[in-house]
Amino acid sequence: MTSDVFTLLAKYNRGVNEKMNGYIQSLSDGEWNQEFQGYFSSVRSLCSHLYISDFNWLKRFGGVKAFSALKDPLFEKTFNFTDSLFSNKEEYLSKRPELDGKLTALAGEITDGDLSKIVKYSNYRGEVIEKKFEMLLIQMFNHETHHRGMISLYLEFLGRENDFSAVMPIVCE
C-alpha cells in the first residue's frame, strides 16, 4: 500500500461526511436526539463518537512524526469516549469540517516510509497497543464507514432518504 491510498481515503472521507452532514442539517432537534436501539442511541451520539474517535486517532498519529496538520491548539484538548460533545447539530456541523480538514491535511503529509512506522498508544481501556501506522489508518477509515452506515440506518428509521456512500462522484471530481 502507498501513501496515495490514504490521501484518496481522506478525500473520500471528507466528501462523504459533507454529504452525510447535508442530511443531518435537515433533521429537527427531535430527530437529532431521537433514541434508537443501537449501542449509540441517536444520530447525535453517533456523531459525537465519530468526532471523538477521529480526534483521538489524529492525536495518536502525532507519534509517527511532527505533522504540521496537528500543530493546532485544537489538539491540546482531550476527549474521552464517554463525552457527549455536541448539544445541538449546529455545533457538530460547525466543527466536523475542521476535523476533516485536519485529517485530509495529515494524509497529504504521509510518505510511503511513514506507513511502516509503529504507533504506540493506550486505548480507552488503558491497554498499550503497538501497531503499524498504515493498519491504524485503515482501522480509522473503516470505523468511519461502519458508523456512517449506522447513521444511514437511523436516517431511514426517521423516514429520511439518504445516500452518501458512493465513492466515484467524490474521488473522481
Residue 99's domain comprises 3-171
Residue 85 has pLDDT above 90, yes or no: no
Per-residue confidence band for 58, with pLDDT thresholds at 50, 70 and 90: very high
pLDDT at 145: 93
Total number of domains constituting the chain: 1
Q: What does the mean pLDDT of the chain come to? A: 92
pLDDT at 167: 59
User: Is 67 within 8 Å of 75 (Cβ atoms)?
Assistant: no
Assign residue 55 the CATH number of its domain. 1.20.120.450
Residue corresponding to grid cell 480507552 = 124
Per-residue confidence band for 173, with pLDDT thresholds at 50, 70 and 90: low
Q: How many CB atoms lie within 10 A of CB 104?
A: 17
Helices (H) then strands (E): counts for the chain: 6, 2
With 0-12 / 13-18 / 19 or more C-beta atoms within 10 angstroms meaning exposed / middle / buried, residue 168 is exposed
pLDDT at 166: 66
DSSP class of 121: E
Q: What is the pLDDT of residues 117-151, one digit of tens each?
A: 999 999 888 899 999 999 999 999 999 999 999 99
- ∠ CA 44-144-74, nearest 5°, is 70
What radius of gyration do the chain's Cα atoms show? 16
